[in-house]
Structure 1
C-alpha cells in the first residue's frame, strides 16, 4: 500500500509514514469543500462564543464562583481552545492532505489537542468527584479554593506530560512534493511503540475517566433517589433541596454522555486503522474522517447549550450576555439570579442526628470556591 494516499491526523498520528502525494486522491469539488467549511465554521463560532460566555457568567458574578463552576470554567477553557486552535487547522489539513502551517505549529498540533482533551474529561471527572462528596458524603470536608486551583493546575501538568512524547517526535516531511506533519517514532520499525502509546492515551483520556464517572454517578443517583425525607416540618424544603441536586446531576450526566458519544466513533476509527491500515487507501475515507472529526469537535459546543437549557442561572446569564440582540430581553429576575446571595444551606444537629434545612444569606461561602463544610450547593 505504499502508493496510496493516507489521511494523516496531526492530533493522534496513528498513520504510518508512507509515500503520499496529497494532491489528487483527496481533492474535493468546490461545492463539497464549501459545505464542509460552512459546517466547521459554524461549529467553531458556536463553541468559541458559547464557552466564552460560560466563562464570563461564572467569573464575572461572585455568586457563581463555586468549586463545581471553577471546574466548569476549566472545561469551557479547554473546549474553547480546542475549537479555536485545533478544529479549523486540522480541517484544512484533512481536506487538502497538505500541511501549510510550518514546523512550530506542527509541534503545537501534536501537543495541545491531547492536552485539551485530557483537561476536558478530567475536569468532568473532578466535577463528578465534587458532586460525589457533596451528595454521598455531605459531612466530609469539601475542596477549598486553593485546593481547587491545585487540582486544575495538576490536570494541565499531567496533560502536558502525557502529550509531550508525541510533540517531541513531531516533524515536517515532504512526500512526493506534499508537506506533511507526522510523528516519527525512533527505533520503532514495527510500530509497536506508537501503538502502545496511542492505546494508552485513549485509555487515559477516554475509557478510564468515563468508567470512573459511570460508577460515581451510579452511586450518586442511587443515593439521591433513595434518600428518605427526614421529618415532617422540613418536607417541602428537603424535597426542593433534593430536586435541585438532582437537576445538577442530570445536567452533568448529560455533559458526560454527550462527550462520550461524540468522541467514541473517532477513537474507534483510529483503533481500527491501527490494525487495518489499508482502510486509509480508500477514497471515501476522507469523507468519513471529516464527518467523525466534526462529530468529535462538536463536543466543544454542546455544553453551553446544555447549561442554558437545564440551568436557570446560566439561562439568565446568557440573556444578560446577549441583551444587545433585539430578540433577547433580560428581566430583573435574570439579574437577581446572578447577584442575589441567598442560598439553601444545611446544618446538622449532631446530637440528635437529624438534618435541619434553612434559608440564610451566605455571601462568604458563595463568593469563594469550596465554602464551608456544611455548605451544600444546590445549583451550578
Structure 2
C-alpha cells in the first residue's frame, strides 16, 4: 500500500499502524485549524471545570460521601484526566501528524487513554451494580468504605493491565523527517496481534459493561415502576422517596446512554479501518477523524451537566462552587442542601402490617438486615414490611425527609 495519511489516535485501544503504512501530513487551512482548536479547547475547559467541581462537591461535603458518589468521583477523575491528557495532546498530533512531546510522553499517551476509558465505564458499571443491590436486594450486605476503595483500586489495576500491551509496543519513528509516536506490533504476526487486541479491548471496555448495565437498569426499572405506594401515602414521604429513586436511575441511564452514543462512531471508525485500510488514504478522513474524536472526547464533559440539571444537591453544589460569578447567586437553601439533613418522624402502629420507608441514617431494626453490615446508604431507601402481633403503639422512628 502506498504512503497515505492514517489519522488515528495513538491514545486509544486502536493504535497507529505506521509499522506497515507510511504517514504524511495533510495540510489544513489556518481558519479550519482555528475552528477545530476552539472546539477542542472549549471541550477541555468544560470537562476539566465540570468534573473538578463534581469531585469537590462530593469530597468537601460529608453528606455527599456515599458509596455511589465515590464511584462518581472515580468517574469524574477519569474523565478529567482523559480531557486533559488525551483530548488536548492528541488533537495536536492528529491535526499536524507530528509528535512534539518526546518518547516518555509517547509511552504515557499509549497507556493512559485506555486506562481512563476502562475506569470510566467500569465506574458506571459499579454504580449500576450498587443501585441494583440497594433497590432490588436491599437487605443484602453493602459495600463498606474500605471495600469501595478496594473496588476502585482494582478497577485501576485491571485498566492498567489492559492498556499495557499498547504501551509496551510504543515507539518513536521518523517518517520523511517528521517524528511519529506509533504502536509497532510484532511483524511476524502481521495484523493479527493488532486486530485481536482491538477486539478484546472493545469487548471489555464497551460491549461487556454496557450489557451488564443494560440488564441491571432494566431490572431496577421494572422493580421501581412496579412498586406501588399505598393510597393513604400517595402524597407522603414514601412517594417522594420512590420518585427520588426513579429520578436517580433516570440520571444514570442518561449518563450511560450518552457515553455509549459518543463512543460508538469512534469504535466503528477503527473497526472499519482494520478491514479497509485504504479509507485512510482519502483526504477527507482527517476531518472525519477529528469530528469523531471530538464526539468521543465530549463524553467527558456531559456528566457534570447532567448531574447539575437533574440532581438538586449537585445543582446547589455548582451554585456554591461558582458563587464568584456575578450571574450566580447561591441561597441559604443551597448550603443546607449539602450540609443539613432534615428529619421526619412517624409512629409505628403495630396492629397492622405497614410499609415503612427508611432513609439514609435511619436505625433499621437488626432483624431487617439479619445482623449483617452494610445497611442503607445516604440518599437511598429500604422498604420494610413488619407484622407484629398485639395492638400497641410502637416507638417513634426518625429519619431523613425526602428531598
Counting only pairs closer than 5 Å after superposition, residues 4-153 of structure 1 correspond to structure 2 as: 4-11=4-11, 12-13=14-15, 15-23=17-25, 26-153=26-153
How far the C-alpha of 1:14 sits from its partner, in A, is 5.4
CA contact (8 A) 1:166 1:183 kept: yes
Structure 1 pair 151–315 and aligned structure 2 pair: CA distance change class (3 A)? same
Cross-structure match for 1:373: 375
Cross-structure match for 2:195: 195
Distance 1:262 1:80 in 2: 16
Counting only pairs closer than 5 Å after superposition, residues 129-278 of structure 1 correspond to structure 2 as: 129-230=129-230, 232=232, 236-278=236-278
Structure 1 pair 20–85 and aligned structure 2 pair: CA distance change class (3 A)? same
Distance 1:61 1:256 in 2: 25
* Worse overlay, 175-184 or 33-42: 175-184
* Worse overlay, 13-22 or 312-321: 13-22
Larger relative contact order (Cα-Cα within 8 Å, sequence gap ≥ 6): 1
In the alignment, does 2:290 pair up with 1:290?
A: yes
Distance 1:186 1:194 in 2: 9
Count of residues in correspondence between the two structures: 371
Distance 2:137 2:338 in 1: 28
3-state DSSP of counterpart to 2:123:
helix
How far the C-alpha of 1:68 sits from its partner, in A, is 0.6
Structure 1 pair 106–361 and aligned structure 2 pair: CA distance change class (3 A)? closer
How far the C-alpha of 1:202 sits from its partner, in A, is 0.7
Q: Which runs of 5+ in 1 are unaligned?
A: 364-370
CA contact (8 A) 2:134 2:376 kept: no
3-state DSSP of counterpart to 1:181:
strand
Cross-structure match for 2:387: none
Cross-structure match for 1:368: none
* Worse overlay, 37-46 or 95-104: 95-104
RMSD (Å), alpha carbons = 2.6
Distance 2:138 2:229 in 1: 16
Give me the TM-score of the superposition, normalised by structure 2.
0.87
* Worse overlay, 40-49 or 170-179: 170-179
3-state DSSP of counterpart to 1:298:
helix
CA contact (8 A) 2:122 2:155 kept: yes
Structure 1 pair 174–143 and aligned structure 2 pair: CA distance change class (3 A)? same
How far the C-alpha of 1:357 sits from its partner, in A, is 2.8
Higher alpha-carbon Rg: 2
Distance 1:37 1:92 in 2: 9
How far the C-alpha of 1:343 sits from its partner, in A, is 6.5
Structure 1 pair 87–142 and aligned structure 2 pair: CA distance change class (3 A)? same
Structure 1 pair 175–194 and aligned structure 2 pair: CA distance change class (3 A)? same
Structure 1 pair 140–275 and aligned structure 2 pair: CA distance change class (3 A)? same
Distance 1:19 1:360 in 2: 59
How far the C-alpha of 1:28 sits from its partner, in A, is 0.2
3-state DSSP of counterpart to 1:90:
helix
CA contact (8 A) 1:344 1:360 kept: no
CA contact (8 A) 1:343 1:361 kept: no
Give me the TM-score of the superposition, normalised by structure 1.
0.92
How far the C-alpha of 1:352 sits from its partner, in A, is 8.0
